[in-house]
Amino acid sequence: MIAMEIDLTLIGMEKGKQYETIITTNDAHDIQNAAPIGVLCSGKDKILNRIFKGSHTLENIISQREFVVNITHDPEIFTLSTLGNLPEDYFNENNSLKCADAYFRCEVISLKEAVKQSDPIKKKGEAIVIKSKVTELTIINPTKAFNRSFGCVIETLSNYSRFDLVGEAQKEYYLDRFRECNRIVKKVGYEADKKAMDEIKKELMKKGYEP
């Protein structure tokens, strides 16, 4: 385990891009909590989160003003911490996760009501934007934080490769999937992912569809 210079590019996080992580927090009674939360990298030692009101994570961050961001690619951790909470034995004493390939500790700089709303589900004003400074970075195994957009490109390509083989109802389904994947890629993706989606869009348009 190596405590590193604080530079989020060491774990593949680029300024302006969003990554899917597990944030671990504790409350005033030291009860530990874990939840999947998106992290927007805003500099080599700065991040932003937008967290909906009502979550334990937000309550704990507001009360403790600090939290840990864990980098893992383990689907079990994402699933257990979305459907419920992780059992105690998944946590280290320092509040990081035992399975994390890397983790960093953050201190809150500011908390503000969210004004921008691009999420399809909730209404504006129901979330808080948290700006934080990274105070410690630990890399256990070489890793890169997970960005959703490449998965969206692959899913879209897989659907595209079947497009000419299916009926109209399934084509409509694939076009809807394209629109949703394109929304995600535009929001969180790298330039190469955006370019790939544009190329697929052009091909679908050549076939006479409006993706």
Return residues touching ligand FMN (CB under 6 A).
20, 33, 35-38, 50-52, 55-57, 78, 82, 85
Residue 171 CB, shortest distance to ligand FMN, in Å, is 28
Residue 131 CB, shortest distance to ligand FMN, in Å, is 14
CA nearest 102: which of 125, 80, 74? Answer: 74
Residue 182 CB, shortest distance to ligand FMN, in Å, is 18
Q: From residue 55, give the alpha-carbon distance in Å to each of 61, 90, 206.
A: 10, 20, 45
- β-bridge mates for residue 102, sequence order: 71, 139
Residue 44 CB, shortest distance to ligand FMN, in Å, is 21
Q: From residue 125, give the alpha-carbon distance in Å to each of 77, 122, 131.
A: 29, 9, 17
Residue 130 CB, shortest distance to ligand FMN, in Å, is 10
Q: Specify the residue, 1 or 115, whose C-beta has the smaller distance to ligand FMN.
A: 115
Residue 164 CB, shortest distance to ligand FMN, in Å, is 32
As a whole number of angstroms, the distance between CA 138 and CA 52 comes to 27
Q: Specify the residue, 8 or 200, whose C-beta has the smaller distance to ligand FMN.
A: 8
Q: From residue 152, give the alpha-carbon distance in Å to each of 148, 186, 188.
A: 7, 11, 11
As a whole number of angstroms, the distance between CA 46 and CA 66 comes to 13
Q: Specify the residue, 58 or 139, whose C-beta has the smaller distance to ligand FMN.
A: 58
Q: Which residues contact 103 (CB under 8 A, 6 or more apart)?
A: 68, 69, 70, 71, 96, 97, 137, 138, 140
Asked whether the beta carbons of 105 and 130 are under 8 A apart, the reply is no
Q: Specify the residue, 21 or 160, whose C-beta has the smaller distance to ligand FMN.
A: 21
Q: Specify the residue, 43 or 151, whose C-beta has the smaller distance to ligand FMN.
A: 151
Read off the tokens for 195: 């370019």
Q: Specify the residue, 18 or 159, whose C-beta has the smaller distance to ligand FMN.
A: 18
